[in-house]
Amino acid sequence: MENYDDFSYSFVIEWIKAKMNEQVEMQHLIDGSYFTNAGMDKSFIKMLNNNIDEKIFDDLVKRIYSSENGQEVQCFTNNKRMNVEISQNESSSWQKYSKGLLRQGWSYETVKQLEESAVSILQNMTLDSQEDGPTKGLVVGNVQSGKTANMAGVMAMAADQGFNIFIVLSGTIESLRQQTSSRLFHDLHVPGGALVWNHIDKPSPRSSNPAYDMSRFSLEDGSRERYMMVCLKNKARLESLKRWLYADSKKMKQMKILIIDDEADQASINTNDVASDESPTVINRIIKSLVHQEGIKSMNYVAYTATPYANILNEVGEKSLYPKDYIIVLPKSPEYIGPSEIFGTSEPEQNPSVDIVRQISSEDRNNIIRLCSGEEVPFPKSLREAVNWFIISVAALRSLNYRKPISMLVHTSFKVDDHKIIAEAIEGYMKSLKNNSSSVIKELKIQYENETLDFNKEMFLDGFPDYPHPENIPVYPRWENIKGWVQRILRYDDQEYISHIRIDDNGALSYHKGFHLAIDNSRGNANRHSDEHIRLVYPDKAMPQAPAFIVVGGNTLARGLTIQGLVSTYFLRQSKTADTLMQMARWFGYRKGYELFPRIWLDTDTHIKYQFLSQMNEELREEIEVLAKNNLKPTDYGVRLKQSPNLSLIRLTASNRMQQAISTEFNFNGFRPQVIYYDNNVEKLQENFRLTEEFLNSLSVPEVTGKYMVWRDVSFVDVAKYLSKYYVVRENNTFDMLSSLVEWCEKNQHKLENWSVVFSSKGQVEPADSNSDWNIYGYDPHSVIRTKHKARSTDKIYSIGTLRSPNDLLADIPNCESIENKKSETVAIRAIRRKHHFDNVPQLLIYRIAKDGVTPNMGDNRESLGLDHDAIGISIWIPGSSENTSTVEYVSPNVSNFSDDEEKNDVKD
């Protein structure tokens, strides 16, 4: 393999980076169009380096563009067991598949990213596992991120390498299995391919189909035949598969098998006691027996999931499905809208890229519960807003000539009876709109104007500066265009305005121009009229205008099913496990062609949970990246997962799905929470106000410089007393760790003993006078101005978005320079504190926040804070010293079993 780090390529690398900074597209460098447009040909690269050829140049371009854009595949691996050469044959499975993706409109960069991840996965597999046993790995994707495309890419590339049997273990729903099976075969079985793909559906030793006769399979080296099957995770299906697959011992010796376990944390986990002699759960037992079968030429098992908590934490050992060989994190596409983009992160501080979350009030939440209990209650305000926004979006997208399905998701309960009640309430509300069309039009117009002010294309691109082809993002249409479509919809007769999907005289599903009301749950179409289809089914052919669907359901909507054109989500589920909540988040994914329209309605509790999940998800990806870069192995080091200190709020997964999780020590490196949510409770606000005044006056005389009052070498005992009494609302979820931090510091005072305390004022700190309402060592430091973030605030809990200014974190350093590069402010702060020997000094930063502050250019989503009393905000900065270990809420798998096994193997009598 070429060493691209060789100094001789340095000039070429710098030239490519310069082109990238000039925003030259990677594809134009590779296909030569950049050189043609500049009046030369690609041989110009010889002027950069006489020894370079096109392949090396192209590889350098791909590597640099991928690396600089943060899209490297992170692989935490034991060792790479296979050399993977990508076939350049235009008839190869990979080339056929990748060219098909490009024809479908995939960008070159996205296809290249898929190629790199497929190579990384395959490098950890083997074509001969007879000596070392089966390879077992885990691929961590993103919810609704198109992992089926990645699976197909791995299969195509593996087929080119010589693998001949491909088994995909699908979920537990037959209709979704059929969809996956059909799609994979369609994508891989391409006319003119060098390999012949054979589709085996529901394999069984009792099958009379000659095509399923294993004795006729061509599995010898050099054969062009490849065999694929998608099997439901069902006891009978899996047992039939195993008996059929392993019926011929001679053929087994030729089998080079790739098993892909799709949604691997569903059904595949052993929830029986893994520490006892109790038999594993049925599906887990059968999959293990498939994977560990003797007499196979090559066996490779790879689990795919976006929620890998149970796969990592539940069962560790040689005969388990634990990913002993590798764990790979798939990079996010620049078009992907996921947890961190919607909910932001706290460490590092990152605001949401898209401001699309709206609030369900506690009153509305209670009314939903009462409604499902049979009580007569008003139609909830937030649900009215969500339905109204759906109507607006359908009208707007139709006016833009959008032709694909448009959907609204309503997920409030797991109970099937509740689904019917909610669906009927929505239907009733929708019909009431027809009777008040003039007032409805006015209400919709006001909501449309508010929403388009709160979130628009400019704001979207601010959050996604690297979003591909921003010119294709549609702008909001004029209200007059939307109004015409709304009026047309409201004029439809009752049967076409809103109904279930109709079944025509020929038994086919029939779609109309109005709203299709679907109830998707385990009850299906039971007890319904024969001319209606109740569950969600999208049309398989394009319609003259975008069909609209309101989908009410529960658990059946949590996995596998893609809600097409999802623009309005109303979500009110009280699940307490991270994996369940993440899988229920159907609003993650790609929104090409309607990027500005999605909105999500959540209650406060659920919003807090998703903010925590966003942080946890980012930390998991970062953890695997660190392990990968340090060349650590899954059998030696267990991946750490963040467990909420507040288990009553949320857990990673059910207890019987994380049986081998152990508490893990970790560093409070860079732990820097800040209070951004405030309870508009006068008594609590006044209590914090007086507490802070007393605390600061109890310290030594401060140093006063400009807008800062600074105390150095403050005992943690004093800081701990203050923190233990300071009132903070639970919406500040990063402060869940505060009690653990205080407890640890009390046990290890010698490590974080001397703190800096900084009070940051607005403008010069002035002396107190007779009009001052507080006095700190004779001074009256002024209140800073922070404004309310409307979309993230509730009636009583107000969000300010961000509390601290980066330079305030340097205020305890005498004569310190300021931060210039805000894009890397955290790195800059650490570097400056280290330079001035403050790198091991923790800091408590305090602000007094004006109760009614306003700023000149607040923006449409900001308003005056509007508290009834000034608030006290605090920020904590813990240095990144590796000495500061702690025992708070992180867990990892106990991998000691692997170490024990290796030691036994090393001992030779």
Please tell me whether residues 633 and 724 are part of one structural domain: no
Looking at 585-664, list the stretches that DSSP marks H as alpha helix, in order from N- to C-terminal side.
604-629
- Decide: 761 and 709 in contact? Cβ < 8 Å: yes
Instruction: Tell which residue, 228, 170, 168, 231, has the closest CA to residue 195.
Output: 228
User: Does residue 290 lie within any of the structural domains?
Assistant: yes
Please tell me whether residues 261 and 304 are part of one structural domain: yes
Stated as kind and residue range, the H or E segment containing 343 is helix 339-343
What was the pLDDT predicted at 458?
92
Among the candidates 549, 569, 600, a domain finishes at: 600
Instruction: Tell which residue, 586, 145, 597, 594, has the closest CA to residue 403.
Output: 594
**What CA–CA distance (Å, rounded) separates 210 from 897?**
45
Please tell me whether residues 81 and 62 are part of one structural domain: no
Phi and psi at residue 487, in whole multiples of 5°? -60, -40
Among the candidates 69, 86, 119, a domain finishes at: 69
Query: CA torsion angle for 32, 38, 40, 44 (degrees, to 10)?
Result: -70
- Retrieve residue 737's tokens: 């760790």
Res. 901: pLDDT tops 50: no
Please tell me whether residues 64 and 112 are part of one structural domain: no
What was the pLDDT predicted at 906?
36
Which residues have CB under 8 Å from 449's CB, separation 6+?
A: 479
User: Does residue 401 lie within any of the structural domains?
Assistant: yes
DSSP 8-state secondary structure symbol assigned to residue 542: -
Please tell me whether residues 549 and 652 are part of one structural domain: no
Please tell me whether residues 63 and 79 are part of one structural domain: no
The most distant pair of C-alpha atoms in the chain lies apart, rounded to whole Å, by 99
User: Does residue 389 lie within any of the structural domains?
Assistant: yes
Please tell me whether residues 529 and 615 are part of one structural domain: no
* Mean pLDDT on 337-363: 85
Token look-up 């960008």 returns 107
Question: How far is residue 827 from each of residues 157, 628, 670, measured CA to CA in Å?
Answer: 40, 21, 10
- Decide: 673 and 844 in contact? Cβ < 8 Å: no
Query: CA torsion angle for 496, 501, 504, 510 (degrees, to 10)?
Result: 80
For residue 569, give the 3-state DSSP assignment. strand
Please tell me whether residues 60 and 80 are part of one structural domain: no
The sign one gets for the Cα dihedral 399, 402, 404, 406 is: negative
Domain that holds residue 717: 677-888
Please tell me whether residues 52 and 147 are part of one structural domain: no
Q: What is the count of structural domains for the chain?
A: 5
Instruction: Tell which residue, 728, 730, 788, 781, has the closest CA to residue 757.
Output: 781
- Retrieve residue 305's tokens: 């999931």
Please tell me whether residues 367 and 498 are part of one structural domain: yes
Please tell me whether residues 56 and 96 are part of one structural domain: no
- Decide: 812 and 712 in contact? Cβ < 8 Å: yes
Please tell me whether residues 217 and 281 are part of one structural domain: yes
For residue 534, give the 3-state DSSP assignment. coil
Other C-beta atoms within 10 Å of 558: how many?
A: 21
Burial pattern 742-766, b for ≥16 Cβ within 10 A else e, equals: eebbeeeeebbeebbbbbbbbeebe
For residue 375, give the 3-state DSSP assignment. coil
What was the pLDDT predicted at 696?
97
Instruction: Tell which residue, 52, 66, 56, has the closest CA to residue 108.
Output: 66
User: Does residue 439 lie within any of the structural domains?
Assistant: yes
Which residues have CB under 8 Å from 849's CB, separation 6+?
A: 678, 783, 784, 785, 786, 800, 803, 865, 867, 870, 871, 872, 873
Q: pLDDT > 90: what percent of the chain?
A: 50
* Mean pLDDT on 365-375: 93
pLDDT tens profile 654-670: 788 888 777 665 445 55
- Decide: 770 and 756 in contact? Cβ < 8 Å: no
- Decide: 235 and 283 in contact? Cβ < 8 Å: yes
Amino acid, single-letter form, for residue 295? G
pLDDT tens profile 54-104: 888 887 887 777 655 545 666 777 766 788 889 989 999 999 999 999 888
**Of the spans 372-386, 458-472, 793-807, which averages the highest pLDDT?**
372-386
Amino acid, single-letter form, for residue 851? K
Beta strands in 306-439 (DSSP E): 326-329, 357-360, 406-411
pLDDT tens profile 464-517: 887 877 888 999 999 999 999 999 999 999 889 999 999 988 889 999 999 999
Of the CA atoms within 13 Å of residue 585, those in its CB half-sphere come to 31
* Mean pLDDT on 338-358: 82
User: Does residue 671 lie within any of the structural domains?
Assistant: no
Res. 386: pLDDT tops 70: yes
User: Does residue 344 lie within any of the structural domains?
Assistant: no
User: Does residue 186 lie within any of the structural domains?
Assistant: yes
Q: pLDDT > 70: what percent of the chain?
A: 89
pLDDT tens profile 546-582: 999 999 988 777 766 789 999 999 999 878 888 888 8
Burial pattern 11-35, b for ≥16 Cβ within 10 A else e, equals: ebbeebeebbeeebbbbbbbebebb
What was the pLDDT predicted at 206?
87
Among the candidates 542, 565, 600, a domain finishes at: 600
User: Does residue 278 lie within any of the structural domains?
Assistant: yes
For residue 617, give the 3-state DSSP assignment. helix
Question: How far is residue 812 from each of residues 696, 710, 712, 720, measured CA to CA in Å?
Answer: 15, 6, 7, 19
